[in-house]
Amino acid sequence: AITFTMLGVTYFGLGDYLEALKYHYASLKIREELGDQKAIAATYHNLGNVYYSQGNYEEAIKSYKTSVSIKRKINDTLDSHYAHTLNNMANFYEEKKDRALALKLYTASWQISQKLNDQLGILSTRSNMGNIYLNAGDYNQAEKTYYECLELAEEIGDKAAVGAIYISIGNLYLKKNKFEKALKFVNKGFEMALAVGSKDDIRNAFYYLWQIEEALGNHKKSYSDFVNYLNYRDSLDNEESRRASVQTQMLYEFSKKEAFAKAEQDKKDLEYAAQKKHRSMILWISFSGLALVLVFSLFLYNRFKITQRQKATIEEQKLEVDLQKDLAGKRMEIAEKQKTVIEAKQNEILDSIIYARRIQSSLLPSEKMISKELGRLKNNYPES
């Protein structure tokens, strides 16, 4: 992540904003995976700087706000990154003419820089506050602030800042119609801008010199300064145009790479989706087959249970029939025995009767004897 950040900062310094964004976003991804909130906030600050330099102010302020939000959430506001973020947000609102909010943010940034003894942070913020006062017409406060900044810039040896502040003070005196003092300070600033090669400050110096010389009646010098101003302005505009053209070309190349990468990713996504669909189909078929096996198994188990119950019922019925048969057999056996007993009794009775008759027969005279005896009696005792 640190390597990506350093590459992002390097490309930002070279004006290659697309590469800077690429590496800062690569750094952001790693830091988000690690959950390093402080580093994430710093990365959003860097992204805001790149977007701001691109002129993409909406994305810039969005990134700055995210950085500020994270810093406040983790209670890490006594930090130079936080102060710089507030300062850059204030620049955005100053350009939007929301000077009240811009001044509030500049003041907050300045106070943090003071606590950290961040001299460059103090210088940057205070000079911006001086511009706010100047544009708001508060010349006394602007003058006081600019002189504070001039003293600090000279103290830390920042020649570019010294030259820019001289020019700002000259502009202040121009607005106050103090043309001689204005000329003095702008010329000092112009010389320092030439020494350090600051084209922006050289252009600004010619812009104010043209107006000052015109106010002093030096029309020839004023015209010369005006022409020089136009030349530097056009030169800077051309540089900006070339930079914009290069950025456009880089954006085109980046877009092609992005389109190719997207196409490759879409292809991978389609392949993954197809594989996922295939796996889902296999799983669906497997689960469906398993479900069918389960249902069929349940059906077979149910049939088995029914068969078992039917078999048990048949066995019970068979046992009942066999029991009834046994009972019937026993009843028949008992009946046979009873019949035998009865027949035996009957035979005994018949035998007794026959025996009795035999006895009677043996004791009583026979019919023949009786008839014979009656005949004898009749013969012996004839009727008288």
- For 161-196, the pLDDT digits (tens) are 999 999 999 999 999 999 999 999 999 999 999 999
Which position has the higher pLDDT, 282 or 221?
A: 221
- Residue 40 within a domain: no
Question: Is residue 23 in a domain?
Answer: no
pLDDT of residue 181: 96
Phi-psi region of 36 (alpha: psi -120 to 50; beta: other; left: phi over 0): beta
Tally helices (H) and strands (E) across the chain.
Answer: 13, 0
Rg (CA), the chain: 63
Closest CA to 24 of 69, 73, 78, 60: 60
Q: What is the dihedral of CA 340, 343, 344, 346, to 10 degrees?
A: 160
- What does the alpha-carbon distance between residue 160 and residue 377 come to, in Å, rounded to a whole number? 200
Please compute the mean of the pLDDT values over residues 15-19 and round it to a whole number: 89
Is it the case that residue 359 has pLDDT exceeding 50? no
Ranges 60-64, 248-252, 275-279, 314-318: which has the least confidence: 248-252
CA distance 11 to 54: 13
Distance between CA atoms of 333 and 253, rounded to whole angstroms?
116
pTM: 0.60
| Among the listed residues 5, 13, 49, 20, the one whose alpha carbon sits nearest the alpha carbon of residue 250 | 20
Domain count, the chain: 1
Share of the chain above pLDDT 90, in %: 47
* pLDDT at residue 282 greater than cutoff 80: no
| More confident call, 249 vs 212 | 212
Q: Give dist(CA 19, CA 4) in Å, integer.
A: 10
112 within a domain of the structure (yes/no): no
Query: Tens of pLDDT along 1-12?
Result: 888 899 998 988
Q: Is the pLDDT of residue 283 over 90?
A: no
**pLDDT over threshold 60, residue 261:** no
Residue 178's φ and ψ, nearest 5 degrees, are: -100, 80
Phi/psi at 221 (5° precision): -65, -40
User: What is the pLDDT, as a whole number, of residue 184?
Assistant: 96
Range of the domain at 340: 261-384
State the distance between the two ends of the chain, measured CA to CA, in whole angstroms.
180
Structural contact between residues 148 and 126, judged by C-beta atoms closer than 8 angstroms: yes
DSSP state letter for 157: T
C-alpha distances out from residue 240 to 17, 180, 254, Å: 13, 34, 20
* pLDDT category of residue 242 using cuts at 50, 70 and 90: very low
Average pLDDT over residues 30-45: 91
Among 57, 54, 82, 55, smallest CA distance to 69 is for 82
Higher pLDDT, 257 or 173: 173
Q: pLDDT-based confidence at 347, cuts 50/70/90?
A: low
Residue 212 lies in a domain: no
pLDDT at 114 over 70: yes
Highest mean pLDDT out of 40-49, 139-148, 240-249, 291-300: 139-148
Residue 109 pLDDT greater than 60, yes or no: yes
pLDDT-based confidence at residue 333 (cuts at 50, 70, 90): confident
Cβ(38)–Cβ(72) below 8 Å: no
In terms of C-beta density within 10 A (0-12 exposed, 13-18 middle, 19 or more buried), how is residue 189 classed? buried
DSSP 137: T
Q: Fill in the DSSP letter of residue 364.
A: S
In a domain, 193, yes or no: no
45/29 Cα distance (integer angstroms): 15
**208 within a domain of the structure (yes/no):** no
376 in any annotated domain = yes
The pLDDT value given to residue 186: 95
43, part of any domain: no
At residue 80 the predicted structure's pLDDT band, cuts being 50, 70 and 90, is confident
Task: Kindly state the average pLDDT of the residues 193-213.
Answer: 92
